[in-house]
Structure 1
């Protein structure tokens, strides 16, 4: 009933929120004399803070309409080039006016951990001028009807393999945080099967490959609770009238509550500073606050089976580093990885995936030549800084691009026509263009 109460609370607050927002617009209007006084700005700030604190944040848009290539602006169009019920593969198609050397093809595997793929907007933006970029746009589980079936960790691995098949040879996979485990597992399975379309390289960033190393607060919670506790306390059915009515999920608002409680003092300070910036009419910091929290507070639900299987496999049993992980009925053996180059990236101050957890992948891939492996730890950044921000743009992104380009050129350009997907026997290819946030 907790999810239903959460929805009822939002519905009950809707009229008050609408009234408060109307008052904010009225008191903040340049035509209102009070808007130019301290009293008026204080009242307007209070109303905005209340409205933003009680709002339901929808899925943000990437909004990357252009990028700069060789000093000139280039139009970027979002296309859905592959689609299944729980994921769309978005291609950021660049309108290149003249022939130029081929850029590396990069598949960014976004986290399926409560936030939308748009959390990686900065990652995409930094790579776009130098790469042909695709990203996994995972679908909010509460928007997927029960008739579409289940989606678990094994399905996630299948999706990754199918997307790599769809993109064809010389694909470079970049996994940010949570996808590091299924991406490593997918590559291990492809290598074990001698798949000619195995990616040229994989980059694992801030991922929980071996959570026994420098465990964080997130790891400790999973270690100290039995899986039955998670089933009883955090799994809930999607309420009516959502499309996924009656689907068991791990609600996004619970994940958000967990993340915010880890740094509650920082979030409270940010809210107070935002309020003071509004009163002082200091526009730039206030706008940066809005942009960050519009993204951070937009959350999605995860299917119960995916969440529980991930918690048990990755955080409780440590199945991958122990060599006990299975994909369907086949073992995930990282020693099978011999050809796919591996780059691991960590942040010195990461409080989600501790230092060494991602680097553990280097140890697992025992048969990978030294020429195909690289590790980098970025000083002075936390988890978010591993894939976003100025240090990512300046220090990490160039390394990812150089690594992908080097190993793409080394992989033969094989034909994808005879390679079948793991679950359907043939690729599922759908192309749609996204305009104004809607696919057409």
Structure 2
């Protein structure tokens, strides 16, 4: 613990030396819906925390709904006295923030690794899954890909407007994959990429996607699953901030336009043993087939994680490369689980179902549990799409059905934790019901 504190203290002091104009640091963590919460600390107080002073925040901050409200979930929130819970600083995450008007820093905090981790904290859920796999001699290598849209900064009666082409001043309303879009929006995209790199994120490929103002950014492969999910979470925060600085809105909303493709979170996962051998490639790739079967078996029960809100289910409507059934295939982007072409060393799955606004810690935890279950059960998967375009199994396409499918699934309760499953399902159920408590203009047009 002493050595750990010394390392953190050195990190804080080095940051202060390199950024003497920074007076405050945002200490942030991701809640269940995937929003950051936390506190803004004077940088001199951060030194005290790094040296071992307690860092406490309300436990129930993790339970916030999409709009920040608290729901009654068991005895949490209203019958537990709203207790504090210990957090710790995540080493290596203290970085400058360059999209605010004043110099600022930010650093991740978490309850995992503390004396009493919060069982339903997303990062803690993933940490437990990774720890269990490590004890079994399984070491994942992970890479995220995130799609997002750029919109004009100003809304039109609450509705998004197409991003303005900075060269022509016209709306970028032509869906395409043209490389010229990267050039036209190079100022904001370059700033997003550089800001991500300043946060320690390994940005690789940038793609202009099919939707108007839609882009995809890929991250490097990591042998640290927690850090990979950290990158995805931090990228969303910095990208939104940089976009506003340039006069745009960046959104990871799953389906902002009904007529255009939605935005997804694609996750590449390979599994290695302690000697660095690819477990999925052994025995003529039989473990790969078992892992795929496990993913597909649990996928219908993980839908509240992969599609975490009402809008995310809109993305699963048969538009470009968005699956409507649990399926797999080699080099097939219509599949939920795609097997990219690769050599045996880099053999992996690409899980393509999750929406871009899903919680990256929970998405990765659910995928890893599916792979783990498949390797243990050793079942054969259904026919791949390459052999049968109709292959696939149904999954829920509405939140309340999805919650019911997840709540009592024994493998998920065992491997993700029963307390987490109960809390998460009730959070999603309450959020969905709260979303329904508003009559929109269309409802009046139809029924008034």
Please indicate the TM-score interval, normalised by the length of the shorter structure.
under 0.3
Return the TM-score normalized by structure 2.
0.24
Q: Per chain length, whose mean CA-contact separation is higher, i.e. which structure has more relative contact order (CA < 8 Å, sep 6+)?
A: 1
